[in-house]
């Protein structure tokens, strides 16, 4: 009994899905009357039913095809505008890569399905024909993408503001990473603006928020170029002050190099240079109550782009004070100047 019910439902499914009465949109003139071109984008497909597919498979395939067709009718205009802009791009270091990323993202975005598309299908059993119809209201489409544009611009404003704050605090590496988040958002903004231009012939610069977008884009490009010129250094140090682990040399070297445009990262993969500092202290003697020590400092500078160590040296600096610890600390502090002077000859700052 259950098996009979199953087969009955299987046979009944196409009737329930496609209905008995042909919809008006099957007729070309009726379709144009109900869905005028000044208000709707439409797409229509028909196909002979295939014995190699179930009704559900045919329905799903044609439904997807007609949605792609209506999307493509709009995206063709968008792609043509993108191609024209692509030819006008100016190449420059630090900007060209972003523009390439934008174009890649634009084409990826343009392959996405437009929102708000509605579809209907119908199966004519007597003629063994399957029909599919898709439509989208232009004004609903415009309203959605205008709202989407505002959301994305708000996200860009937040990203740029955060990057500006990080840069102002000297955290240039973090600022550069923050700006990377803007690439995909800018591409969405550009795509939506192109889409709105294609859909709404009366779209104004204010509707497209072009002034705000251009200001944000210029700020972004300037920051990106500025941060691209910064030198990023990863420092690994080991300092022994008579058994006490300290960071005297590393911290002072960072401070001095920062004055010359270097920024320091916590991830070696983000660095232009890898700097290793190893310091040990030793006592050499005392004279009239003064203790003298040496800070033996080994430095190795690795150029990430050249993939080799470009500078290696050992510098010993003497220091004196009334205690061993103070003498060792003084030697460490005084060796910094020599280390920085040597490094500045090799780091492009």
Residues 256-279 have pLDDT tens digits of 998 887 888 888 888 889 999 999
Residues 6+ apart with CB under 8 A from 204: none
Let me know the angle formed at the C-alpha of 176 by 170 and 177, rounded to the nearest 5 degrees: 115
Q: What is the pLDDT of residue 105?
A: 45
User: 79: pLDDT confidence band, cut at 50, 70 and 90?
Assistant: low
Dump the DSSP string for 229-297: TSEEEEEEEEEEETTEEE-HHHHHHHHHHHTTTEEE-SSGGG-SEEEEEEEEEEEEEEETTEEEEEEEE
pTM, two decimal places? 0.58
Q: What is the pLDDT of residue 200?
A: 86
Mean pLDDT of 99-120: 59
Q: What is the pLDDT of residue 336?
A: 96
Residue 65, both tokens: 């095809």
Higher pLDDT, 146 or 108: 146
Q: What is the pLDDT of residue 111?
A: 45
Neighbours of 317 (CB within 10 A): 21
What is the distance between the alpha carbons of residues 302 and 160, in angstroms, rounded to a whole number? 32
Q: What is the pLDDT of residue 267?
A: 87
Q: What is the pLDDT of residue 197?
A: 87
Using the predicted structure, report yes or no on whether residue 95 has a pLDDT greater than 50.
no
Q: What is the pLDDT of residue 242?
A: 95
Using the predicted structure, report yes or no on whether residue 190 has a pLDDT greater than 60.
yes
Residues 6+ apart with CB under 8 A from 239: 245, 246, 247, 248, 249, 250, 277, 278, 279, 332
Mean pLDDT of 297-301: 97
Higher pLDDT, 95 or 25: 25
Highest mean pLDDT among 1-15, 31-45, 89-103: 31-45
Q: What is the pLDDT of residue 327?
A: 95
For 237, phi then psi, to 5°, come to -135, 155
Residue 67, both tokens: 């949605």
What is the distance between the alpha carbons of residues 214 and 266, in angstroms, rounded to a whole number? 33
Mean pLDDT of 225-253: 92
Higher pLDDT, 89 or 46: 46
Q: Which of 140, 228, 216 has its CA nearest to residue 185?
A: 216
Mean pLDDT of 78-95: 46
Enumerate the β-bridge partners of residue 291: 286, 321
- Pairing of the two strands 273-287 and 290-303: antiparallel
Using the predicted structure, report yes or no on whether residue 94 has a pLDDT greater than 50.
no
Residues 6+ apart with CB under 8 A from 240: 246, 279, 280, 281
Residues 6+ apart with CB under 8 A from 21: none
Using the predicted structure, report yes or no on whether residue 335 has a pLDDT greater than 90.
yes
Lowest-confidence range among 15-19, 212-216, 316-320, 341-345? Answer: 15-19
Enumerate the β-bridge partners of residue 44: 133
Q: What is the pLDDT of residue 226?
A: 85
Let me know the angle formed at the C-alpha of 76 by 57 and 38, rounded to the nearest 5 degrees: 90
Model confidence pLDDT, tens digit, residues 191-228: 899 889 888 888 899 999 999 999 999 999 999 888 87
Mean pLDDT across the chain: 83
Mean pLDDT of 1-23: 54
What is the distance between the alpha carbons of residues 322 and 306, in angstroms, rounded to a whole number? 46
What is the distance between the alpha carbons of residues 333 and 349, in angstroms, rounded to a whole number? 23
Using the predicted structure, report yes or no on whether residue 67 has a pLDDT greater than 80.
yes
User: 80: pLDDT confidence band, cut at 50, 70 and 90?
Assistant: low
> Of all residues in the chain, what percent carry a pLDDT higher than 70?
83
């Amino acid at each position: 009994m259950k098996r009979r019910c199953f087969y009955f439902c299987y046979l009944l499914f196409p009737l329930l899905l496609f209905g008995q009465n042909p919809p008006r949109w099957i007729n070309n003139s009726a379709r144009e009357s109900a869905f005028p071109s000044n208000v709707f984008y439409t797409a229509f497909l028909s196909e002979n039913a295939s014995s190699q597919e179930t009704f559900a498979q045919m329905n799903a395939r044609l439904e997807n095809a007609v949605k792609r067709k209506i999307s493509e009718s709009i995206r063709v205009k968008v792609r043509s505008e993108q191609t024209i802009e692509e030819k006008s791009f100016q190449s420059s270091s630090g900007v060209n890569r972003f523009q390439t990323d934008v174009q890649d993202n634009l084409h990826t975005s343009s392959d996405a399905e437009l929102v708000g598309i509605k579809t209907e299908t119908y199966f004519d059993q007597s003629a063994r024909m399957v029909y599919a119809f898709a439509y989208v209201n232009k004004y609903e489409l415009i309203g959605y993408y205008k709202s989407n544009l505002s959301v994305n611009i708000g996200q860009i404003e937040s990203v740029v503001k955060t990057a500006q704050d990080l840069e102002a605090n000297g955290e240039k590496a973090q600022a550069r990473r923050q700006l990377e988040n803007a690439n995909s958002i800018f591409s969405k903004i550009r795509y939506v603006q192109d889409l709105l231009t294609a859909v709404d012939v009366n779209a104004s610069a204010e509707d497209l928020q072009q002034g705000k977008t251009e200001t944000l884009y210029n700020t972004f490009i300037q920051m990106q170029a500025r941060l691209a010129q910064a030198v990023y250094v990863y420092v690994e140090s080991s300092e022994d002050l008579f058994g006490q682990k300290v960071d005297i040399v590393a911290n002072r070297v960072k401070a001095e190099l920062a004055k010359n445009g270097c920024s320091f990262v916590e991830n070696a993969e983000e660095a232009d240079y890898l700097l290793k500092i190893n310091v040990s202290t030793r006592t050499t003697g005392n004279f009239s109550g003064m203790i003298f020590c040496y800070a033996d400092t080994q430095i190795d500078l690795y150029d990430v782009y050249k993939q080799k160590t470009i500078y290696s040296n050992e510098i010993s600096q003497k220091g004196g004070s009334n205690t061993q610890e103070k003498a060792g600390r003084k030697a460490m502090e005084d060796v910094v100047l020599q280390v920085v002077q040597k490094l500045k000859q090799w780091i492009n700052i």
